[in-house]
């Protein structure tokens, strides 16, 4: 395992283009950051080859794969040369920036085939031993390390995400879990956000961010449930969050309503109403009716009040599981002028 980690570190140290030659489906599920997908086989072709491999063995699967590649060889080469040309990589030039990094699933025939093709044009390709599988082992191992996490807690509308952004601006180590998940973690969480990544790619993003940090320094994260939309926080990392130091933000109801109105009133009424209907059983018929009617009439204060009570009860349940709380009673002015001073006094 140590040997494979060293191979991965060496592979990552080169500065040339990073090419993922797996199928589009594999790439979507999870990939190395900044990699470019030039698939040797598309999703259907990969399925066909896999079936032949299981049924008739490796030799026949290789022959079928060669038939697919033969038809698209010119396209593959053009795609590779386009990337190489865009990064001004010169043939036969041998330095860290001229190596073309290639990986497939396990460092097998797909990456080796593309490497062979580039060598014929006198480029310097380098493949990852163990492929993406080695990278994923490294990702999962990173969550078991001990991290100095500080959790920012607070009820809905207390501005936790705003505080996290402010800390990031002033070069504190932060992980925006909701940003990585493209979801705010509630029934309204997907509004205005991009499509959520796969859970695997969500993990990749977190681990890469951790890799950029100094281990001895604090890492600030927002308090979350285990799931953020369809993305699940890695189990080992989430367990550390639950036992970490915590800063609890307290704000008046009027300030919280103001925060929520600014965040959600910009969305279409139909989207907001659909979000309310997803939790109608939990809200109950009366609060659901009030919320739906208020959205239709653009009475945003009433909309937010009708759902705050529900979210507050959920939050009190979650908060009861944590014991190490530091309370900050913040006004809007303190958010902008004193928050960093308060944070530093706590730590």
Rg (the chain; Cα; Å): 25
- The torsion angle over the Cα atoms of residues 8, 13, 14 and 17, rounded to 10 degrees, is 70
* Cα→Cα distances 125→20, 49, 94, 96, 292, Å: 13, 25, 10, 11, 59
| 104 labelled catalytic | yes
Phi, psi angle pair for 25, to nearest 5°: -65, -40
What are the tokens at 238? Answer: 């989430």
Phi/psi for 292 (5° steps) reads: -65, -45
The strand ranges marked E within 51-116 are 99-103
104, 182, 231, 304: the active-site residue: 104
Tokens 């490796």 appear where?
Answer: 58
Please give the C-alpha separations between residue 289 and each of 46, 76, 257, 267, 276, in angstroms, as whole numbers. 51, 57, 19, 19, 10
Annotated catalytic residues are 104
């Amino acid at each position: 395992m140590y040997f494979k980690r060293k191979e991965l570190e060496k592979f990552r140290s080169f500065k040339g283009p990073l090419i993922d030659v797996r199928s589009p489906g594999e790439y979507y599920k999870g990939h190395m950051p900044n990699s470019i997908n030039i698939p040797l086989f598309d999703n259907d072709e990969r399925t066909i080859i896999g079936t032949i491999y299981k049924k008739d063995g490796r030799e026949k699967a290789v022959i079928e794969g060669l038939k697919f590649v033969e038809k698209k060889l010119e396209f593959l080469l053009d795609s590779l040369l386009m990337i190489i040309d865009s990064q001004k990589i010169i043939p036969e030039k041998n330095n860290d920036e001229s190596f073309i990094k290639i990986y497939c699933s396990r460092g097998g025939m797909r990456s080796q085939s593309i490497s062979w093709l580039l060598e014929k044009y006198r480029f310097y390709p380098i493949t990852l031993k163990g492929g993406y599988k080695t990278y994923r082992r490294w990702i999962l191992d990173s969550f078991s390390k001990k991290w100095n996490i500080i959790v920012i807690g607070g009820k809905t509308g207390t501005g936790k995400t705003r505080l996290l952004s402010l800390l990031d601006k002033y070069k504190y180590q932060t992980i925006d879990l909701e940003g990585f998940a493209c979801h705010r973690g509630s029934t309204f969480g997907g509004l205005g956000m991009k499509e959520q990544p796969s859970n695997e790619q969500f993990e990749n993003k977190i681990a890469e961010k951790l890799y950029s940090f100094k281990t001895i320094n604090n890492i600030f994260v927002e308090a979350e449930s285990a799931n953020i939309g369809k993305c699940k926080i890695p189990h080992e990392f989430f367990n550390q969050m639950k036992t970490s130091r915590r800063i609890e933000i307290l704000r008046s109801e009027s300030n919280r309503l103001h925060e929520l109105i600014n965040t959600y009133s910009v969305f279409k009424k139909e989207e907001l109403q659909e979000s309310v209907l997803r939790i109608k059983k939990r809200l109950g018929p009366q609060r659901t009716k009030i919320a739906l009617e208020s959205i239709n009439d653009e009475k945003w204060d009433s909309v937010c009040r009708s759902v705050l009570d529900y979210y507050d009860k959920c939050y009190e349940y979650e908060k009861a599981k944590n014991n190490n709380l530091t309370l900050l009673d913040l006004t809007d002015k303190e958010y902008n002028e004193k928050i960093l001073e308060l944070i530093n006094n706590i730590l």
